[in-house]
């Protein structure tokens, strides 16, 4: 709809009238394109939240849900605008090999985001505290299980997440890299399971921690990203050669081509 309606070229034209500086144009076009798409998808997202409330999975109020959606939009817009600035910079400088140079830039950015997420992004949505703060005995048992597995996980790296403020589901997970690597147990898990069951859940999470699955997942993502970016480069050129003029897109380095990239990524 955005492509056939030539909406992105309209945003591009607005940006070019506002400023001749590319960084300003990107800061106008990218948020407008993403906000338009996300607002169009908002009814579907709201229906998903309605289903979660209807089936007693979520207890989050609509005001809180909308605030979380808004925070997510702000985080995504800032990050996406920065990524687009890098992307279009390398596309202009190397039309044939931009996919490889953008991947080189994506490697440290991905590692930095995985490192940063537990201490900056996750706390935007949930409250976290050391598990030992309210469950010192369970924390001691967890440390004992870890030692039996040949691993020492410091108590300060085991956290409780206040999931019950929004959800009724139970869960636990491992996240972060390096000094931010941690095990997180939802407070719903602590309420609905006894200590032995929680320790069994922890044993599963400890396996991720010991075997480095977060690291392996990042490496697998980066390998797939390299292949995906090359495929995206070929698909973008193929699409613009056939439909670019009809959509008023000047070329791969045109900001109005962003919906084409997003379409192929979605596919």
CB 76 within 8 A of CB 209: no
CB 126 within 8 A of CB 161: yes
CA distance 253 to 161: 43
CA distance 230 to 234: 6
CA distance 81 to 203: 40
Residue with tokens 């602590």: 190
CA distance 100 to 230: 7
Active site residues: 205
| Strand-by-strand arrangement of the 128-130 sheet | 128-130, 158-161, 182-186, 172-175
Give the orientation angle of helix 258-266 with respect to helix 213-243, to 10 degrees.
Answer: 130
């Amino acid at each position: 709809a955005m492509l056939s309606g030539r909406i992105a070229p309209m945003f591009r034209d607005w940006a070019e009238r506002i400023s001749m500086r590319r960084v300003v144009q990107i800061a106008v076009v990218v948020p407008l394109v993403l906000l338009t798409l996300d607002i169009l998808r908002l009814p579907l997202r709201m229906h998903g939240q309605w289903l979660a409330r209807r089936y007693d999975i979520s207890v989050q109020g609509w005001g809180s849900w909308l605030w979380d959606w808004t925070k997510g939009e702000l985080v995504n817009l800032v990050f996406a605008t920065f990524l687009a600035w890098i992307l279009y910079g390398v596309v202009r400088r190397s039309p044939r090999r931009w996919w490889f140079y953008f991947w080189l830039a994506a490697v440290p950015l991905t590692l930095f985001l995985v490192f940063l997420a537990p201490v900056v992004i996750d706390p935007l949505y949930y409250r976290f505290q050391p598990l030992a703060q309210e469950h010192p005995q369970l924390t001691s048992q967890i440390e004992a299980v870890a030692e039996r597995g040949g691993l020492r996980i410091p108590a300060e790296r085991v956290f409780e997440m206040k999931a019950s403020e929004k959800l009724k589901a139970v869960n636990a997970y491992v996240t972060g890299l390096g000094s931010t690597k941690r095990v997180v147990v939802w407070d719903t898990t602590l309420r609905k399971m006894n200590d032995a069951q929680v320790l069994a859940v922890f044993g599963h999470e400890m396996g991720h921690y010991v075997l480095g699955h977060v690291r392996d997942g990042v490496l697998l993502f980066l390998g797939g990203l390299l292949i995906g970016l090359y495929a995206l480069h070929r698909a973008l050129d193929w699409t613009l050669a056939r439909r670019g003029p009809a959509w008023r897109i000047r070329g791969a380095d045109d900001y109005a081509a962003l919906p084409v990239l997003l379409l192929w990524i979605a596919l």
